[in-house]
Chain A
Amino acid sequence: MRTVTLPVAYMPLVDAAPLIVAREMGFDHAEGISLDLQPAPSWSSLRDMLAFGHVDAAHLLSPIPVAMALGLGGIATPLSAVSVLSLNGNVIGVGTNLAGRLADLGYGFDFKDAEAAGAGLTKAASDVLVFGVPFPFSMHVELLRYWVAGTELASKQVEIRTVPPPLMAQALATGEIDAFCVGEPWGSVAVDDGVGTLLLPGRAIWTCAPEKVLAVRNGWAETEPHLLGSLMRTVWRAGRWLSNPESRTTASEMLSRKAYLNVSPELIDRALIGDFTISGLGEQRHVEGFVEFFDGAATFPWRSQAKWVAHQLAIRNGLDAGIAERQAAKVFRSDLYRRELQSLGVETPGASEKLEGALTESTAVASTNGSLILPRNVFFDRRVFEPTG
C-alpha cells in the first residue's frame, strides 16, 4: 500500500510517546500513512508550525488551542483538539535551598499530599515564591494556580515565569526561580543535576488533568477527513500499546534515542513506570498512573476538560466565563473522536461532558457497547467543577 507522508510536530518530552511509538512501531504504516515527526525548539514555534501549515498535526499543551479560541496570545488560527494524547505527567519541584528548609521543618516529602506540600512550602518559603513553567498557556500554570489558590500558599506572593524546560535546572541553580512545574524528563534532570528535589506529581493536584492534545487546523480536519481518521487511529493504537506495562522498557529505549529525547532511557523509565528518584540523596517514591496514555478513555477529548481550562483562563484574563466555556467546548472534538474511532470498535462514552472532579472512585458509565470504567477523577481540594456556561 502506498503511504501518505504526514508532517507532525512535537516537543521532545516523555508524553510525546504516542507519536514516537506510532512511528517506531509502524502503527502509522498500518494505517497507510507515514508520520514525518519534526521536533520543535519552543512551544510558540510548535504552535506556529501548526497554525501556518508547516505541519498538519501537533503534540500541543492542552490549554494552547483553548487560549487561541478565546483570542489570547498572538495567533488566532482555529484549532481542533481531536484527541487527548496524555493525562498528567508533570512534576513540581523545588530548589535545594527550599528543600533543605522543608526538611528542617520536618516535612516528609511523601510526593502525594498536595495540601500538606502547600502548607509545608508556605512555612519554608520567603514572602515571594517564583515558579518556572514551560509556557504561559499550559496545564502547568493551571495546576499551579489551582493549587496555590486552594492552600496556605495563597498568602504568599507567587510569581510564575516562563523558562524553557532545558534551562529549568540552570534557572533553579542560579536562583532565578525557587521552584518549577515541568513535564518529564525535565524534573528528573534537575534532580540528577543536583539542583532540585521533587515535591509533587501533577496528578496530586488533579488526578485526571488533560495534559497534551493531538491538535490539527479546523480547515485541515474538514478537507482531509481520511487522513485525520488514519492519524487518530494510528495514535490510538500507539496509546494502547503503551498501556501494556511490558511495553514500557522498549518505549523508554525508543524515546531515549538521539533523534528524539536524547537522554538516558533510565530517566524516561522513571516517568513511564512511576518510580521516581526525588532528591540528590536517592530517595525513591512510586506514583501509580503518573502519566496515562490510554486506560479509562484517557484519550477521549471531553468538552468539560476544555471548559475547565477556559474557566480558569477567563477568570484570570477578565473574560466572561460562560462565553469562554462555550467557545472552548467546540475546540475539544468529541464528535470527531467518535466518528473516526468507531471503525476500530473503540469504546466511547455516551456523554461528551463529565463532572470534572466528581469521581472519588473508578466508576462504570454508559458507552457505545455497554459500559466503560472511568478512573478516579478528583481535585486535591475535593471541589467539583461546575461549568458556568
Chain B
Amino acid sequence: MKQHLTVVVVEQNQEHAFAIVDALKESGDVDVFVIGNVSGLARQIATHSPDIVLIDIDNPSRDMLEELTVASGPMERPVAMFVSSAAGGLAKAAVEAGMSAYVVDGLQADRIKPVMDIAIARFQMLRQMRVELEETRRALEERKLIDRAKGLIMKAKGFQEDEAYALLRKTAMNQNRRVADVAEALVTASGLLS
C-alpha cells in the first residue's frame, strides 16, 4: 500500500491551482500535480497514475475523465472526485457517489476524506471569488450603458443629467424592467438609427 497520496488537480486558472496545491500540501503526505491544459486530459492524468483527481464539477472537461472509468481496469482507476457546486446538495451527492463508484481496493475512504474536505472548501472559496468578480464586472458594464443612455437622452431632449436618469428609471418602472435593460435597448436602438 502506498505511503502517501498522489493527487492531480485539473484547473486552468494558475492562481487557483496554486491555492489548492498549497492547501493540499499542508494537509499532509500528498504529492500534487496540476494539469492546466486539458488537451489529451485522460492521457495526461494516466501518466501520473493518481489516487485522486480533483476537478470542478462545473468544468466541461469533466467528461474527458469519463474515459478513464471505461478504459482502465478497476485497479488502475483513480478516485475521481468532482467537488464544489453552486447547485447545493449535488456536490455532496456526487462526492459520495464518487467515493463508492471510483474508490479502488486498498485505498481507505477515511484517508481520502481530509484531502476532500480541504479541496471542497478551497474550490468553494474560489467559486465565491469568481462569482463576486463577475458581479462586479457586470455592474461596471451596466453603469457604462446607463451613462451612455443618459447622454443620448440629454442630447436628444436637452435634459439635465438627473432628468435623463429620472426618465430612464420611470420607463423601467412602467415596463417592469431593469434600468440597465432599458438603457441597453435605447443604446441599441440609437445605434441602429444613427
Q: Which residues of A contact B (CB under 8 A)?
A: 38, 41-45, 48-49, 51-54, 72-76, 134-137, 161-164, 166-167, 171, 174, 176
Contact = CB atoms under 8 A, between A and B. Distances in A.
Interface residues of B, number: 28
B153 interface: no
Contact of B58 (A41, A53, A137): A41
B67 interface: yes
Contacts of B38: 167
Contact of A73 (B57, B62, B69): B69
A166 B66 CA distance: 17
A162 B87 contact: no
Contacts of B159: none
Contact of B60 (A76, A161, A164): A164
B42 interface: yes
Contacts of A76: 101
Contact of A176 (B40, B61, B63, B80): B40
30 contacts: A38-B87, A41-B58, A42-B62, A43-B66, A44-B65, A45-B57, A45-B62, A45-B94, A48-B90, A48-B94, A48-B97, A49-B90, A52-B93, A52-B97, A54-B89, A54-B90, A73-B70, A74-B66, A74-B102, A75-B97, A135-B66, A136-B67, A161-B42, A161-B64, A162-B42, A162-B63, A164-B64, A166-B60, A167-B38, A176-B40
A171 B63 contact: no
B60 A42 contact: yes
A74 B97 CA distance: 9
Nearest to B102: A74
Nearest to A76: B101
B57 A54 contact: no
B176 interface: no
A52 B58 CA distance: 16
Contacts of A52: 89-90, 93-94, 97
A136 B90 contact: no
Nearest to B40: A176
Given A41-B57, A41-B59, A48-B90, A174 B39 contact: yes
A161 B67 contact: yes
Contact of B39 (A44, A51, A134, A176): A176
Given A44-B62, A52-B93, A74-B80, 4 more contacts: A42-B62, A53-B93, A74-B66, A134-B63
Contact of B63 (A38, A44, A54): A44
Contacts of A43: 63, 66
Contacts of A38: 87
- Residue among B58, B82, B90 with most chain A CB within 10 A: B90
Given A41-B59, A48-B90, A176-B39, A163 B64 contact: yes
A58 to B, nearest CB: 13
Contact of B66 (A41, A53, A54, A162): A162
Interface in B73-102: 80, 82, 87, 89-90, 93-94, 97-98, 101-102
A77 B58 CA distance: 21
A135 B102 contact: no
B44 to A, nearest CB: 12
A344 B95 CA distance: 42
A176 B102 CA distance: 28
Contacts of B60: 41-42, 164, 166-167
A76 B102 CA distance: 12
A157 to B, nearest CB: 16
Nearest to A175: B39
Contacts of B64: 161-164
Nearest to B90: A54
Interface in B94-127: 94, 97-98, 101-102
Nearest to A74: B101
A41 B39 contact: no
Given A74-B69, A75-B101, A162-B67, A167 B61 contact: yes
